[in-house]
Structure 1
């Protein structure tokens, strides 16, 4: 897909991967609408994009609510005249032991990470179909491919998003709307600020711009998935498939240290 002149809606676009992707796509001629819950952060992000010559508009809305999803789609269409690329990027996480995770935290992750993308995509599909060459991008997580201890609900929600994208890709084949799923590894974003897990625990962080550039390349090449993390992540994915007990033993050896490092990791 050619990115120039595409009309792009990015949820969770005020920072992190969402903002980096807005910069990457806007730099090559896309028009951008970013949505989020924080007015000041959105205003700052739009100012930054505009200073770089990107046409960008913001929508203050919570896509975990029906009203927020309706506002997001309506204002994006008003600003852009349509939507060619929908990026479901907004996310929420609360790490820690399952029995120490509240019901409210569990529901928040499922609402933001899984239900919101499904319902927002459903709302946007009639608009996407009008273009004849549209794309839905679901930004999931590497944890969707390898279940990490102390990320049980997050892993469930992200794996659900992954299978949603796969099923929808097949459902929409040859209908003018493609689907791509992105699996970032640990990324330098505000979402990761409260995590103390480092390279020794397998969390080798990369800049959000690197993930954004990989997504942009995936758009250009009509990829159906983008997996970050390099050879080490690919080896872990293969091991999880071929000998999952070996990975169980590896996690067991770092379990206490990992729990201590992520017990305060929250972004809800």
Structure 2
């Protein structure tokens, strides 16, 4: 897929993977609509894009709100003449014991990570259908392929958005709208600042720019899935999950301690 002059809408674009993805698209000549809840981080993303010679606009809003979803799509269409690519990137997490999650924390993860991207995609589809070559990117997680202890709600939302993308890809097959899912591993983003996960739990980190480049390259090459993280562990979980259960049990105490303070809502 050619990205020059493409109109791209990215949620959660004020930091981390979202910001780096916006910059990576802009370097290829795309025009970016940046979405997020806080204006200042979005302005910083916009400045970085403009410094790289790109063009961007900022639309502040909570992606969970129907009115914000409508404004996002409308802004992209009005400013850039249409919408070619939607990147559902915004996400939140609250780790720890399930019974210690409040209703608010549980619902925030489900609404932000799953319900909002589904609704935004529905809102964007009429505009995407007007594009000569359109794409939808759903940012899942390695935890969407491999359930991690103390991340049950988060993992459920990330597995859900992956299956949503797979089903929608088949629904739209042959209609000129490509659907891709990316599964980032642990990434050095603000979401992970309070995680406490590291080598002791078998976790290694990569930089947001690496994930962003993999995402944009995947779109350029019409990939269906882009998987980051530990392929051997993911394969083991698919083939013999009971073995992975045993492996994780040996790390359960350290996982529990690491996850206890992991909260980014």
Q: TM-score, normalised by structure 1?
A: 0.97
- Give SS of 2:250's match: helix
In the alignment, what sits opposite 1:194?
A: 194
Q: Distance in 2 between matches of 1:202 and 1:64?
A: 33
- Provide Cα deviations, 1:195-244, integer angstroms capped at 9, x if missing partner: 11102212211000000111111011100011001xxx211111112111
In the alignment, what sits opposite 1:245?
A: 242
In the alignment, what sits opposite 2:80?
A: 80
- Structure 2 gaps of 5+ residues are none
Mapped pair 1:265 → 2:255: no
Q: Distance in 2 between matches of 1:234 and 1:48?
A: 33
In the alignment, what sits opposite 1:254?
A: 251
Q: Distance in 1 between matches of 2:210 and 2:236?
A: 25
Aligned residues: 265
Q: Distance in 2 between matches of 1:267 and 1:64?
A: 16
- Give SS of 1:187's match: coil
Q: Distance in 2 between matches of 1:218 and 1:102?
A: 37
Q: Distance in 1 between matches of 2:85 and 2:251?
A: 40
- Provide Cα deviations, 1:167-215, integer angstroms capped at 9, x if missing partner: 0000000001010000000001111111111022122110000001111
Mapped contact 2:88–2:138 kept (Cα < 8 A): yes
Q: Alpha-carbon deviation of 1:70?
A: 1.3
Q: Distance in 2 between matches of 1:199 and 1:250?
A: 14
Q: Distance in 2 between matches of 1:27 and 1:241?
A: 37
- Structure 1 gaps of 5+ residues are none
In the alignment, what sits opposite 2:110?
A: 110
Q: Distance in 1 between matches of 2:244 and 2:125?
A: 39
Mapped pair 1:166 → 2:179: no
Mapped contact 2:200–2:254 kept (Cα < 8 A): no
- Provide Cα deviations, 1:128-155, integer angstroms capped at 9, x if missing partner: 0101310000001010000000000001
